[in-house]
Amino acid sequence: MPKCFKRDRFVCISGFCNCFGFRISDFEFSTAMIFFVILLILTFIAQIVEIFIPPLEWMYNAHIYIVPIIVFYGAMSLPFPLVMILAFFAGFMLDALTAQVIGGRVEISLGWSILLYAVLAAIMHGLRPLFIRGRWEVHCIMSGLCTSAILLSQYLMISFRRGSLVFTREAWWQIGGPGVIAMIMAPLLFWVLHTLSQATRNPYLPDEEAYE
Amino acid sequence: MNRSSIIALVILGLILAYFLSFGAEGTRKLQAGFYKVVSPFLSTGSGLKKQITSVSSGLQTLEELERDNTSLKVENRALKATNQALRDVENEVNRLRRALAYRERSVFRLVPAEIITRDSSTWWRTATINRGKTDGIEPDQPVVTDIGLVGKTTTVAENISIVLLISDENCKVACSVEGTREQGIVSGERVTGSVTPMLDLNFLSKQANLGPGPKVYTSGVGGVFPSGLLVGVVQSFRVRELDGQARVTPAVDLSRLEDVFVVTGRK
């Protein structure tokens, strides 16, 4: 596809963003957007798939979480505003699917998961210099830690709501287990997403840092 | 931090503030709307999961057949496959017959429903069913099987509803113990490490001294659950500082739920 044609298609969106202070060139914006939209779709699919993955009985019923890994990869490979939109999307879906309305109260209000994802994604975005230097292992470990951090935060919130803090061996496994699984899955998922990112010519990749 | 990042943060902050201001009703409406959007995906996913499960069980049968005599292998495989298919149909017929019989003899108006997903999150014991507002289902309606109590509906979308299972700590059910005057509140555990969760029957008298075996039924106090629904069987009893507490095994195997009924009223 000719470059000028692509440019025409995205010039309106880019122009809109420029009005609000986004200084992104048209071409860079369009190519970043393609990968961003792919990540949004993958996040949605992963969230639905997660629902059908049964908990691991041998790991004290720990669940498998895929969405955080996708969001954290997005945090390393997208501009900050798009990272926040991705975090919002993932957090909103998590809240909408899991919010418990019991009687007249909500156990964890809508918005908390968005906040959690936004904070953790911002931390991961802050570690981008390491990603640029090719130090992926740090992000794999961080993906596991951040996944566990989401679960720990949720557990602390519901404990606060329910009025007692109980940390059993099962609770620790259900917090730490998904983190360990995320750490193990992260290299493979990062590789797949990185390949996709390169295929879509995402300008925010380490090799093409000149675009930043 | 550049200007675009600051703008993104401000917009996110505003949206967050808007969402955090939602009350229970607003959250329920938004959640119902979201479930309406994702319900086709959930139904498709549920169907795919069933197909994958049936394929994997079929492969096991083939492994067994491979060990058989080579001359009988082909014939045996065909026979076994046919037999398995018929057995599946027979099980399905029996299951539906039991469900239909229960629906007919029950004193309640029941809406049959199928479980789409269950235990999809770490901290909440919930299931989703393929019935919603269009089927006359409302929030806080009891969900049962022919064996006993399963839980209650919380958020109801157009064609899908969330069921809070009795194994969740938030699902509190007023119960009485068979053969005694003891009454208490049954609730689930916050964290469970096993597939089959246990329930706690709290606020019993210290003198209850229950042994294993007595059945626990809903007492009808509270207004959500009608009286006389089987909740579980007492496993053990212990005296606490202020009350007695019994451990109860749920009557319904919550890990293998397939078909349930939503109680929409009395006949």
- Tell me if A91 sits within 8 A of A118, measured CB to CB: yes
CA distance B30 to chain A (A): 7
Q: What is the pLDDT of residue B138?
A: 92
Give the one of A51, A84, A95 whose C-beta lies nearest to B12's C-beta: A84
A18 touches chain B (CB under 8 A): no
A172 touches chain B (CB under 8 A): no
Give the one of A84, A110, A155 whose C-beta lies nearest to B9's C-beta: A84
Residue A72 has pLDDT above 90, yes or no: yes
Give the one of B15, B31, B170 whose C-beta lies nearest to A102's C-beta: B170
The DSSP output letter for A62 is B
Contact yes or no for B124 and A100 at CB 8 A? yes
What DSSP string describes B108-149?
EEEEEEEEEEE--SSS--EEEES--GGGT--TT-EEE-SSSE
Contact yes or no for B45 and A21 at CB 8 A? no
- DSSP-assigned beta bridge partners for residue B174: B185
Q: What is the pLDDT of residue B65?
A: 61
For residue A64, which amino acid is it?
Answer: I
Q: What is the pLDDT of residue B186?
A: 94
pLDDT mean over A61-89: 92
Q: How confident is the model at residue B203 (pLDDT cuts 50, 70, 90)?
A: very high
| Average pLDDT of chain B to the nearest whole number | 85
- Of residues B68 and A189, more confidence is placed in A189
Contact yes or no for B20 and A98 at CB 8 A? no
Q: What is the pLDDT of residue A155?
A: 92
pTM (2 d.p.):
0.79
**A 62-91 residues inside an 8 A Cβ radius of B:** 62-63, 79-81, 84-85, 87-88
Between CA B160 and CA B135 the distance in angstroms is 10
Q: How confident is the model at residue B56 (pLDDT cuts 50, 70, 90)?
A: low
- Which chain A residue shows the shortest CA-CA distance from B172? A102
- Tell me if B86 sits within 8 A of B78, measured CB to CB: no
Chain A and chain B share a number of CB contacts under 8 A equal to 151
Residue A1 has pLDDT above 60, yes or no: no
Residue B217 has pLDDT above 90, yes or no: yes
> Model confidence over A121-159: pLDDT tens digits?
999 999 888 887 777 788 889 999 999 999 999 999 999
Q: 3-class SS at B1?
A: coil
**A 106-145 residues inside an 8 A Cβ radius of B:** 106-107, 109-112, 114-115, 118
Between CA A98 and CA B179 the distance in angstroms is 39
Please name the residues in contact with B253: beta carbons below 8 A apart, sequence gap of 6 or more.
B196
B30 touches chain A (CB under 8 A): yes
- Tell me if A144 sits within 8 A of A182, measured CB to CB: yes
B247-251: Cβ within 8 A, 24+ apart: B247/B198, B247/B199, B247/B200, B247/B201, B248/B186, B248/B198, B248/B199, B248/B200, B248/B201, B248/B216, B249/B196, B249/B198, B249/B199, B250/B148, B250/B166, B250/B167, B250/B196, B250/B197, B250/B198, B250/B199, B251/B147, B251/B148, B251/B149, B251/B215
Between CA B87 and CA B90 the distance in angstroms is 5
Contact yes or no for B7 and A81 at CB 8 A? yes
pLDDT mean over A154-169: 88
Q: What is the pLDDT of residue A28?
A: 61
Between CA B4 and CA A23 the distance in angstroms is 7
Q: Residue B94 has which token pair?
A: 């029996």
Buried residues in A81-111 as b, exposed as e (16+ CB within 10 A)? bbbbbbbbbbbbbbbbbbbbbbeeebbbbbb
Between CA A81 and CA B116 the distance in angstroms is 36
What are the chain A neighbours of B193 within 8 Å (beta carbons)? 60-61, 168-170, 173-174
Q: What is the pLDDT of residue A208?
A: 47
- Which chain A residue shows the shortest CA-CA distance from B50? A52
Give the one of A52, A80, A151 whose C-beta lies nearest to B122's C-beta: A151
pLDDT mean over A28-55: 87
> Model confidence over B64-119: pLDDT tens digits?
667 666 666 677 766 766 776 677 777 777 777 777 777 777 778 889 999 998 87
Between CA A66 and CA A21 the distance in angstroms is 33
Q: What is the pLDDT of residue B113?
A: 92
Residue A35 has pLDDT above 70, yes or no: yes
Q: What is the pLDDT of residue A11?
A: 46
Residue B197 has pLDDT above 50, yes or no: yes
Contact yes or no for B34 and A52 at CB 8 A? no
Q: Residue A202 has which token pair?
A: 């995402």
Between CA A65 and CA A47 the distance in angstroms is 8
Residue A15 has pLDDT above 80, yes or no: no
Between CA A138 and CA A111 the distance in angstroms is 28
Residue A20 has pLDDT above 70, yes or no: no
pLDDT mean over A165-183: 91
Q: What is the pLDDT of residue A22?
A: 46
Q: What is the pLDDT of residue B129?
A: 93
Percent of chain A with pLDDT over 70: 82
**B 103-132 residues inside an 8 A Cβ radius of A:** 117, 119-124, 126
- Of residues B86 and A95, more confidence is placed in A95
- Of residues A204 and B111, more confidence is placed in B111
pLDDT mean over B35-53: 85
CA distance A5 to chain B (A): 26
Q: What is the pLDDT of residue B152?
A: 93
Q: Residue A145 has which token pair?
A: 């830690």
pLDDT mean over B39-47: 86
Q: What is the pLDDT of residue A45?
A: 94
Between CA B5 and CA B11 the distance in angstroms is 10
Contact yes or no for B8 and A162 at CB 8 A? no
Q: What is the pLDDT of residue A9?
A: 45
For residue A156, which amino acid is it?
Answer: L
CA distance A107 to chain B (A): 9
Q: Cβ–Cβ contacts within 10 Å for residue B220, how many?
A: 15
Q: What is the CA radius of gyration of chain B?
A: 23
Residue A206 has pLDDT above 70, yes or no: no
- Of residues A168 and A69, more confidence is placed in A69
What are the chain A neighbours of B24 within 8 Å (beta carbons)? 101, 103-106
Contact yes or no for B192 and A170 at CB 8 A? yes
Q: How confident is the model at residue A92 (pLDDT cuts 50, 70, 90)?
A: very high
Q: How confident is the model at residue A181 (pLDDT cuts 50, 70, 90)?
A: very high
